[in-house]
């Protein structure tokens, strides 16, 4: 099955790269987003997402005439839903964007069309929520139009590369839908394409991120135990990982982003009695920022009236994404403990986060700091010279929450050095 037109709904971290990728292969693409400012920026040729290669891809797609952007859904042979799926305060999935996107397709749905949900969703979202909405068009799923689920499985900072190279899972409501999805993604995907049913594909996505979340939770719990036993967790992990069947991950401030710390809750919501380990792991990782904050508070002998230069707000190194960031949670805990936190995030200077005081330059954060906290291991932060930092701040202490700095180098520069379960 060949496709000449695609409408991608959602111009975020997945939808925009996907749209530009299809356009680069000769397909006529319309990218849709309800945020008028995003559409205005894209129409001006400005990617609102910092991702290697994306700006060039966007410009090429726009200049070729194969990519148009709009706030309105248009008719196409295939529709891709790539909208956010956060959760409510009670950890229940917020599927309002998926519902709205599905509803927006209904007036444009025609016989033979393909609809693909890419948004990470609880099991059975495709068959129990999306399909009934689309059938309000008067067409029947499977008989009149095709429907599939195909989750994104890419790493921020490598999205364009991994969209092409990573294996792609496509779950159809029937075999014909899965095969149509394969035909569409083969336009640019070079990795293996695995066909299954829609609900299995939904669960595969959740299992992948939940597996990582549980393993990070073990590492974070090990860090707490190491702190209690006065053990350097990084040395202990290094030694343990020499066992041929052991691979303990890195502890840190917590788990963030729009995947690993969100997706496990979808399984807990769907089957709470069968997801007890998953829920326990989530509890550990969600509480890790508070644990680190208490450690910092203890080291500083209280934070009331103290100023902290806080380096990094992104959810992981060298990306601009601050969604569900544990570094943001840590900064807020430090503010709640009485500190004035001056946060410097070079990749997202205008994040406009509630309760977070951001500065545009590192020097602004350092000028009045009593304590420097490294919350994210950005390459620019790892490269900081301790001797040069000594000249820029009167801070007595530095705290490395992510094991990115050399303890001896910072101590040689005159700082008192601390870190998460660090001795060396």
pLDDT tens digit sequence for 205-216? 999 999 999 999
Place of tokens 């644990």: 291
Whether the pLDDT of residue 184 is over 80: the answer is: yes
Give which of 215, 255, 222 is closest to 237, Cα–Cα.
Answer: 222
pTM for this predicted structure: 0.88
- What average pLDDT score do residues 151-174 get? 93
DSSP E strands, 133-229: 146-149, 168-172, 193-197
User: Is pLDDT above 90 for 262?
Assistant: no
Stronger pLDDT, 153 or 118, i.e. the higher one: 118
- Fold classification of 198-424 is Rossmann fold (3.40.50)
Q: Catalytic annotation on 7?
A: no
Please determine, for residue 424, whether its predicted confidence score (pLDDT) is greater than 90.
no
Strand order in the sheet with 397-400: 357-358, 340-344, 307-311, 371-374, 397-400, 416-419
* CB neighbours of residue 187 within 10 Å: 15
Percent of the chain with pLDDT over 70: 100
CATH of the domain spanning 5-191 = 3.40.50.720
Per this entry, what is the length of the chain?
424
pLDDT in tens, 99-148: 999 999 999 999 999 999 999 999 999 999 999 999 999 999 999 999 99
pLDDT of 387 strictly over 90: yes
Q: How high is the pLDDT of residue 180?
A: 98
Rounded to whole angstroms, the Cα distance separating 101 from 79 reads: 10
Among 7, 259, 348, 407, the active-site one is: 259
Q: What is the mean pLDDT of residues 145-157?
A: 92
307-311 and 371-374 as β-strands: parallel, antiparallel, unpaired?
Answer: parallel
CA distances from 238 to 121, 243, 250, 401 (A): 36, 10, 10, 17
Where does the chain hold its CATH 3.40.50.720 domain(s)? 5-191, 198-424
pLDDT tier, 257 (very low <50, low <70, confident <90, very high otherwise): confident
Tell me which of 205, 316, 348, 407 is the catalytic residue. 205
What's the rounded Cα separation, in Å, for the pair 29 and 6?
5
What distance separates the 2 farthest-apart alpha carbons in the chain? Answer: 73
Rg (CA), the chain: 23
pLDDT of residue 157: 85
Given a contact cutoff of 8 angstroms between Cβ atoms, the answer to whether 103 and 132 are in contact is no
Residue 14 in tokens: 């997945």
Structure-token pair, residue 69: 């952007």
């Amino acid at each position: 099955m060949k496709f000449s037109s695609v409408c991608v709904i959602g111009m975020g971290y997945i939808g925009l790269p996907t749209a530009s990728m299809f356009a680069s292969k000769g397909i006529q693409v319309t990218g849709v987003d309800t945020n008028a400012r995003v559409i205005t920026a894209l129409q001006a040729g400005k990617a609102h997402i910092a991702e290697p290669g994306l700006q060039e891809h966007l410009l090429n797609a726009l200049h070729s005439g194969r990519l148009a952007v709009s706030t309105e859904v248009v008719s196409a042979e295939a529709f891709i839903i790539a909208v956010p799926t956060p959760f409510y305060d009670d950890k229940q999935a917020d599927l309002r964007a998926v519902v709205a996107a599905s509803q927006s397709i209904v007036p444009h749905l025609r016989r033979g069309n393909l609809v693909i949900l890419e948004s990470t969703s609880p099991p059975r979202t495709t068959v129990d929520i999306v399909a009934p909405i689309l059938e309000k068009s008067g067409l029947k799923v499977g008989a009149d139009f095709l429907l599939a689920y195909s989750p994104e499985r890419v790493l921020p900072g490598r999205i364009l590369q991994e969209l092409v190279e990573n294996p792609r899972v496509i779950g159809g409501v029937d075999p014909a839908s899965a095969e149509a999805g394969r035909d569409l993604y083969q336009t640019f995907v070079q990795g293996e394409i695995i066909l299954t049913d829609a609900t299995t594909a939904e669960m595969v996505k959740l299992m992948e991120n939940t597996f990582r979340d549980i393993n990070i939770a073990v590492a974070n719990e090990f860090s707490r135990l190491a702190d209690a036993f006065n053990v350097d967790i990084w040395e202990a992990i290094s030694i343990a990982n020499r066992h041929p069947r052991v691979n303990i991950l890195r502890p840190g401030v917590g788990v963030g982003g729009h995947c690993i710390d969100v997706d496990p809750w979808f399984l807990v919501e769907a089957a709470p009695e069968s997801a007890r380990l998953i829920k326990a792991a989530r509890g550990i990782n969600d509480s890790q920022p508070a644990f680190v904050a208490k450690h910092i508070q203890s080291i500083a002998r209280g934070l009331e009236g103290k100023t902290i230069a806080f380096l990094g707000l992104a959810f992981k190194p060298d990306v601009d994404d601050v969604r569900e960031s544990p570094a943001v949670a840590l900064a807020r805990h430090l503010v709640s403990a009485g500190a004035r936190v001056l946060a410097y995030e070079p990749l997202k200077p205008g994040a406009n986060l509630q309760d977070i005081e951001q500065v545009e330059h590192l020097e602004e954060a350092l000028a009045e700091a009593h304590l420097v906290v490294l919350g994210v291991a950005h390459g620019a932060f790892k490269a900081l010279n301790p001797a040069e930092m000594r000249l820029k701040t009167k801070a007595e202490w530095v705290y490395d929450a992510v094991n990115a700095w050399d303890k001896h180098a910072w101590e040689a520069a005159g700082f008192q050095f601390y870190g998460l379960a660090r001795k060396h």
